[in-house]
Amino acid sequence: MSEFATLLIDGKEYKLPVIVGTEGEKAIDIRKLRQETGHITFDPGFGNTGSCQSAITFMDGEKGILRYRGIPIEQLAEKSTFVETAYLLMNGYLPDRESLTRTSVMLNDFSLLHEDMKFFYQNFPSKAHPMGILSAMVNALRSFYPELIDLDEDVNRTFLRIISKVRTMAAVAYKISRGHATVYPRPDYSYCANFLHMMFDNPVIPYRMDQELVDALNVFWILHADHEQNCSTAAVRVVGSGKVNIYAALSAGISALWGPLHGGANQAVIQMLEGMQQNNLTPAHVIEKARDKTDPFKLMGFGHRVYKTYDPRAKIMKTMCDKVLKKLQINDPLLDVAMELEEAALNDSYFQDKNLYPNVDFYSGIVLRAMGIPTKMFTVMFAIGRLPGWIAQWREDALDPNQKISRPRQVYMGETIRDYIPMDKR
C-alpha cells in the first residue's frame, strides 16, 4: 500500500505521496502541489528539497556515512584507485581487469591537448585565476571534440577524454603561469603519477616520483569524486536540464565550485592560517574569535553543512595527512600552526558540543600544500577529482524520463502594480 502525507490548507485535506529511498530516506512528493492547492513550498538554499532521484551517492550527515554506488568511502580510499572509482561512478559497477586496463590506456591516449589550445592559455592575463581559466577551457573543448551527440553512442570515450584532458589542462596552466615549458604525460605512469610528473618535472631538476605522494593524490581525488547534490553538482544538473552539451554543464560546475563556501574552502583554510601567522594570532585567540557571535571572523575548515558528526572523508584525509607530513619531514611553520589549531579545536568544549570537527577541506589543504601544490591550484585539484561525479550526475539526469528543465518558483515580495511615470514628472 502506498504511503501518503496529509496536508491541511483552509480546512481542506490534500494527500501527498511519500517516496521511500532504498536506504529508508523519505520524501514528500509535491509535484502536483501548486496545481492542486495554488501553493508552493519556500525553502531557501533547498536544504529540505529533493531535486531528483539518484542511484549514485548516498550520504547520511547524522551518522557520518558516505557511499559511492553502495560502496563505503572507507573501502574505496583503502583499496581502490581514482581511475577505478571514476569508472564505478560513471558506469554503476566496478570494472573487471580488462575494462580497467582499457580505461587506463584510453586515459593515456587522450591525455595530449590539441596544440591550438595553447594559444588560449597564452592570451589569458597573467593574474587570471586558474579556476576561471579551467572553466573557459572546458567550455572550449566542445569546439575541438563535438562528437557526443547521442547518449546511446560510446559515451565513455567522451567522458574519459574529458577526465584525461582536464588533468593535462590543469598542469599546462600551472606550467605556463610559471613561464615553464609544457611537460607531456608518460605512457608508463598512472593517472595520478602523470599529473605530478606534468606539474613538477623539468629539464633541470627531474621530478622524483614518490609512491606515497601518488597514493595521497589517489585518496584525495577519491574522497572528492562525488558528494550527492551539492552546489556544483546541482549546477551541473540544472544547466544540463536545458539539454546543453556536457562541456557547458561541466563548465558551470567548475564555476560553482570556485566559491570559498564550496570548493574554495581548502584554499580559504590556508589563507586563514596565513592570516593567523601574519597577525600573530594563537589558536586559542582564533577559537575565541570563532566563539564570539559578534565577531565576523569565520573559522574555515571546521564543521559541514550536511555532516552533523565527523566528516568520514576528514578521518581518511587526516590519516593521509599524517603520513605525508611524516614522509616529507617538511619544516613549514604554517603546517605547525595548522596542527596546533586542530588540537586546540578538538579539545574545546564549544566545538565538541556543536560538532564542529575539522572537515576534509582542513586536512586536504594541508596535504596539498605539503605536496607542493600552489594555493591557487587547490580548487582546480578539487575540480579534477569531482569530474567523474559531475559526469555521472549529468548522465543520470539526461537519461531520467521524469526529469524536466529546472525552473524554481519564487515568492514575489516587490511592488504591486503601479503606473509608469514619464521622465519630466519624476
Alpha-carbon separation of residue 307 from 60, 279, 358, 359 (angstroms) = 7, 31, 11, 9
Taking the C-alpha atoms of residue 188 and residue 304, their distance in angstroms, rounded to an integer, is: 39
DSSP 93: S
Q: Cβ atoms within 10 A of the Cβ of 29, count?
A: 13
From the candidates 201, 226, 311, 361, give the one annotated as an active-site residue. Answer: 361
From the candidates 304, 311, 348, 397, give the one annotated as an active-site residue. Answer: 304
Q: Cβ atoms within 10 A of the Cβ of 20, count?
A: 11
Alpha-carbon separation of residue 257 from 16, 71, 85, 384 (angstroms) = 35, 25, 21, 11
Catalytic-residue membership of 129:
no
Q: Which strands make up the sheet holding 26-28, listed edge to edge?
A: 4-9, 12-20, 26-28
Catalytic-residue membership of 304:
yes
Matching residue, cell 537519461: 399
Asked if residues 3 and 18 have their Cβ atoms less than 8 Å apart, the reply is yes
Taking the C-alpha atoms of residue 137 and residue 156, their distance in angstroms, rounded to an integer, is: 20
Residues labelled as active-site residues = 304, 361
